[in-house]
Structure 1
Amino acid sequence: MSTVATRRGHVVLVTHHYAPERGAPQSRWNELARHFAAAGVTLSVLTPPPHYPTGQLQTDNPLQQPGMSHRGEHGERVVRVAYRPHSPRLVSRTIDQMVAAWSSVQRSRDISWPPPSVVIATVPGIPSMFAGAAIARRFKVPFVVEMRDAWPDLIQPSKILESRRPSRVKAYITALAHRSISRLQSRADLVVTTTESFAEILHERGVRKVAVVRNGTTWTEVSPPPTAGRPGIDRPLRAVYAGTIGRAQGLGTVVEAAALAAERGLLLEVRIVGAGADVPALRRQIQSLDAPVTLHDRVSREEMVDLYAWADTSIVSLRDWEPLKWTVPSKLYEVIASGNPVTAAAAGEAAEIVESLDAGVVVPPEDSEALAEAWLAWADAGVLPKPSTRALAWVEANAKPDQLAQQYLTALDEIGGL
């Protein structure tokens, strides 16, 4: 049961991703919705119909079609706004996000009773921020921006505004987007981040009020079956990555590292599980390098339990982009809670968490040589690292949904949003 004290208020959430879709943003707000309801808070959600990750409509449920509204799992009112079917290309996805944001503003009249007390816009996608600001102005209530990643700083490395226009035009568009997002953050009544490091960056930029509400996890320790033999020598060392397969993850490094380690005699089996824009490129790379890596579609939670039990280590991978040093993938908390040793190809706050908790091994991002050497060292030692007990304790103390919901509601209270 939630430990959040009973409150009253009407929270309006503008989000591009929501249940029954599965993913990190969806899981975060599924748990927050559960605990908001337990605290007596009314929640209304403006969101497109389920169409993640393919960009195509994922349901034939008549209540979840554009223009419809229905009750969510926790009693929240879900208003389904317009969307645009899209391809994996960033431009196509961005147009979809813009359509949904525009429609959210139009449909906000449908959630006028009881009167909203606060509007939260969560990123991704970026256009949701501007829709949320417009809706908050309409109702004259506090506006909250939830930054799950380090926007606007990710605009440049992610190439989200890529186009075939001349470089000067692209530079102008990028600078304009950067200024617009930063200005909106500075004008918001509250900015919620998921990491301490990005909160510090925002404070340095003059953002008035910032609260840190980490991503959470409901996972508990998974007990692997006993296995005989030395991993990597007598039997394959088993590694799994499960999550988004996109640009920011840089999973090509994992494929290269697996090929290098195998060339040097390591018995290795890597499974990459998930969906995303980089799947076709990874498939070609695996074939080209003859790497001991297999690609798998997204799996259910029950199947994920089996994967964690199967794996000797779970991979958390990020590109070598400066803004990603201020990012902690939500998957990291899940991996630590499962009891799996972490192989972290990352820098910044994510790397610091793994190192400080002795939760696994950290190598520099996009360094396939270092990653291969880390796995080879485990085989040479003849034993896998075991995460420290304080790693599990830290997740219990810092990443459980009821505690995070309490932090969120307290922050909303402080700006007069409840």
Structure 2
Amino acid sequence: MKILVLSQYWAPENGVPQRRWAWLTKILVRAGHEVLVVTPPPHYMRNLTLKDWWKESGLLGKEQVEQGDNGETILRSGFFPAGRSLTSRIFNQAIVAGSMLVARPSKARGLKGYRPDVVIGTVPALPTSVATWVVAKRLRAPYILDLRDAWPELLHNSHDWNSGTGKRSLREKVFSKGPLQLLIRVTDRSMCQALNNAGGIITTSAELQTHLERTMPVLKGGKQRFYATVRNVFPPKAPYVPQEKSNRDQGHLNVLYAGTIGRAQKLDNALKAAQIARDWGFDVRLRFLGDGASFLALRKEIVEKNIDAQIEHRVPADDLIPHYDWADTALVHLTNWEPLNRTIPSKAYELMTMGIHISAVVSGEAAELIETLHAGHVVEPENPESLAELWIDLIKDRSKLAITDEGANWVEHQRNEVVPVQFLEIVEAVAKQG
């Protein structure tokens, strides 16, 4: 079976979307399917001059294919160099989606007459959903949307997107006075249309799948829409053996956050919790590793409030091991937006696999999963007092940092037994129904 994948994130970039699809691609290829990917060149963490950008890709991309590391064929689309701001990222994602629309795989060398049996679009980026709809219609193929978060409902929290990113630029202030609302309305409607016409929808949580099954309209033409939960239980980038920590200094707690420092995390809540613990006479030491829209604002707050915390940009997976050894507990953190009740941070699965205690600031399915698997402790989002109380409790009784291998075993079973079957079933079912 020929499978066309549209994605704005792909290897050799190293993020959650890239690692997720490297793993899923292996599953497809091992099952005997041919995978063609339309995606831009790696660029999200690069500073490119306009000359280098135009030579490498430009707006429309190049009609040249390459072979990926997991058996896939890659056709690189165009893009536009993006900065950290929301507006520049939106612009880049729109350019990439537009380039996907004009990409002609059948014109690329070695792909003459190419026609897929099914098209899969990965979201985010949000414009990919509409590009997938249009491309699939043009190629007369059914399509699946891989919905990694609770989109488009998260658009309804756009008024709060920049609350944790510090002072907004003049461009963002002007953009938010009307253009942003118009763009969100158009994106919401367009994405809903793309979802409504999809033959299959993949989610990363059971709660989101249930929500969509209950709220989505019936697919036109009397066809069945297929759903599947494909969790982000991809293998860790580097193996890790938990270290014995029982003999450490009993007077403080080392808390590590390694992940996206973005809008949906609002990690200033963790800073407030550490400050509360300090005011109450307890020593909580924070370490943040990652990148995102809130990085600079978080770093500024650490300095201004003299909080015992370190913050560094994202490091390679192999270099995380000393940080995991340092940590008594690892922080998994989301804010209190209602759609995030149906989101499970992939970091939670990684920490379960590694056997590291989780301090979880989450709600909904993520909270239930961590508590059920005894992988750590959970407090509600946007309640720094509760988080401070948890950390103080762990300082007082370090035996509570011990966890069983229940979470690791569950993740391994999902990774090796459950997800591959569910993923292949939905892809083959949508392609068969046509």
**TM-score scaled by length of structure 2:** 0.87
Match of 1:222 in 2: 241
Corresponding position: 1:184 with 2:188: no
Task: List runs of 5+ in structure 1 lacking aligned partners.
Answer: 1-8
Question: Offset at 1:36?
Answer: 1.6
Q: Is the 8 A contact 1:230 1:383 kept in 2?
A: no
| 1:216 aligned partner, one-letter code | V
Residues 391-412 of structure 1: CA deviation (Å, up to 9, x unaligned) = 22211222x1674233211111
Q: Is the 8 A contact 1:222 1:308 kept in 2?
A: no
1:135 corresponds in structure 2 to 135
Match of 1:264 among 280, 291, 295: 280
CA contact (8 A) 1:189 1:209 kept: yes
1:3 equivalent in structure 2: none
Distance, in Å, in 1 between the alignment partners of 2:33 and 2:112 is 15
What displacement does 1:360 show? Answer: 0.6
Instruction: Give the aligned partner of residue 242 of structure 1.
Output: 258
In the TM superposition, 1:364-383 aligns within 5 A as 364-383=380-399
Q: Write the distance in 1 (CA, Å) between the matches of 2:316 and 2:300.
A: 26
Residue identity in the other structure for 1:42: E
User: In the alignment, residue 21 of structure 1 is paired with which amino acid?
Assistant: E
Partner deviation per Cα, 1:266-288 (whole Å, 9 max, x = no partner): 22221110111111100111012
Structure 2 match to 1:5: none
Does the residue aligned with 2:311 lie in a helix, a strand or coil?
strand
- For residues 118-150 of structure 1, the C-alpha deviation after alignment (integer angstroms, 9 at most, x for no partner) is 110101111111111111112111111110011
Q: Which residue of 2 aligns with 1:385?
A: 401
Pairwise mapping of residues 273-352 of structure 1 onto structure 2 (< 5 A)?
A: 273-352=289-368
**Structure 2 gap segments, 5+ residues each:** 163-171, 218-224
User: What's 1:16 paired with?
Assistant: 8
CA distance in structure 1 between the aligned counterparts of 2:277 and 2:67, rounded to whole angstroms: 51
Deviations 1:34-61 (A, max 9, x none): 222222111111111111245758xx89
SS of 2:431 mapped into structure 1: coil
Could you tell me how far apart the structure 2 residues matched to 1:221 and 1:349 are?
A: 26
Quote the Cα distance in structure 2 between the aligned partners of 1:44 and 1:62.
Answer: 24
Q: Is the 8 A contact 1:63 1:70 kept in 2?
A: no
| Alpha-carbon distance change, 337 to 63 in structure 1, aligned in 2, over 3 angstroms | farther
Tell me the SS of whatever aligns to 1:78. strand
Q: Assess if the C-alpha contact under 8 Å between 1:121 and 1:145 holds in 2.
A: yes
Residue identity matched to 1:299: V
Deviation at 1:372, TM superposition (A): 0.9
Aligned residues: 404
Per the alignment, do residues 166 and 41 of structure 1 end up closer, same or farther by CA in structure 2, a change over 3 Å counting? closer
2:90 pairs with 1:94: yes
The aligned amino acid for 1:224 is: Q
Q: CA deviation at 1:223?
A: 1.9
SS in 2 for 1:275: coil
Q: Which residue of 1 aligns with 2:41?
A: 49
Deviation of 1:158 (Å): 3.7
Task: Give the conservation status (yes or no) of the 8 Å contact 1:313–1:342.
Answer: yes
Evaluate the alpha carbon distance shift between residue 344 and residue 382 of structure 1 in structure 2; reply closer, same or farther with a 3 A threshold: closer
The CA deviation string for residues 35-88 of structure 1, in whole angstroms up to 9 with x for no partner, is 22222111111111111245758xx89997542431110221111111111221
Q: How many Å separate the matches in 1 of 2:139 and 2:416?
A: 29
- Paired with 2:113 and 2:302, the residues of 1 have a C-alpha distance of 54
Residue 431 of structure 2: aligned partner: 416
Contact 1:355 1:362 in 2 (8 A): yes
**TM-score normalised by length of structure 1:** 0.90
CA–CA distance in structure 2, aligned partners of residues 213 and 239 of structure 1 = 29
Structure 1 letter corresponding to 2:174: R
Amino acid at match of 1:105: L
Amino acid at match of 1:335: L
How far 1:257 sits from its partner (Å)? Answer: 1.3
Deviation at 1:108, TM superposition (A): 3.3
Moved more, 404-413 or 182-191: 404-413
1:159-214 CA-to-partner distances (Å, cap 9, x unmatched) read 57976368676555433432321221111000111111111111121253321111
- Superposition RMSD in Å: 2.5
Note the C-alpha offset of 1:320.
0.5
Between 261-270 and 373-382, the greater mean CA deviation after superposition: 261-270
When residues 19 and 113 of structure 1 are mapped into structure 2, their CA distance, relative to the original with a 3 A threshold, is farther
Distance 2:10 2:369 in 1: 28
Q: CA deviation at 1:16?
A: 0.7
Residues 408 and 108 from structure 1, CA distance in 2 versus in 1: closer, same or farther, beyond 3 angstroms?
farther
In structure 1, the partner of 2:74 is 78
Residue 115 of structure 2: aligned partner: 115
Q: Please report how far the alpha carbon of residue 304 of structure 1 lies from its aligned counterpart in structure 2 after TM superposition.
A: 1.8
5 Å-filtered alignment, 1:201-220, equals 201-207=211-217, 208-219=225-236
